Amino acid sequence: MHLTISLINLKSVRMREILCGKPSILIYRGKIVEKNMKKERFTINELQERLRGNNIFDMGDVEYAILETSGQVTVIPKPNKRNTTPEDFNIMPEYEGISYDLVVDGKIMKDNLEKLGKDYNWLLKQVNQFGIKPEEALIATIDGKGNFFCQAKEGRNKNA
């Protein structure tokens, strides 16, 4: 059944709309589309909640809000309310890489240590700076720039 529906969705746009629905614009060019709100049975309070979930706290900051077929609301802020990016200032930021968990709830992530070319002794030295042993850490991570973060489990050293 799932395979059949998937094939129908791939082959026919019209059937996809019937089976899955289509996105609905709730805010268009800064104005709430009441007709679509009613059609989707969406209240103003629900819209405000979904906007807050998208870090929008003032409805007046929204250019478009689209209710997706998944039930999520996609928000496009007004141009003057959008977050700036380094590209806006012709800045090329440094590569950051990803963070690696080294200790999670007192359990040492040996695979991640190996990926980084580090060993237990190195980890011990890093975690000791926080006044604890690796097994006493709630979390210990290192980011792509080498910044180390560590927090002790509750009930351990309160200064770590």
* Domain range summary for the chain, segments of one domain joined by +: 22-89, 100-152
Architecture of domain 22-89: 2-Layer Sandwich (3.30)
CA distances, 125 to each of 61, 98, 118, 119, 132 (Å): 48, 22, 11, 10, 10
* 76 in Cβ contact with 63 (< 8 Å): yes
The burial of 14, by beta-carbon neighbours within 10 Å (0-12 exposed, 13-18 middle, 19 or more buried), is given as: exposed
CA distances, 46 to each of 26, 36, 53 (Å): 11, 14, 11
Which CATH number fits the domain 100-152, given the four candidates 3.40.50.150, 3.40.50.2300, 3.30.240.20, 3.40.50.1970?
Answer: 3.30.240.20
pLDDT tens, position by position, 20-45: 778 999 999 999 999 999 999 999 99
Q: Extract the tokens encoding 91.
A: 């800045």
* 86 in Cβ contact with 79 (< 8 Å): no
| pLDDT by position in tens, the chain (length 160) | 888 878 877 887 777 777 777 899 999 999 999 999 999 999 999 999 999 999 999 999 999 999 998 899 999 999 999 989 999 999 998 888 899 999 999 999 999 999 999 999 999 999 999 999 999 999 999 998 899 999 999 975 444 4
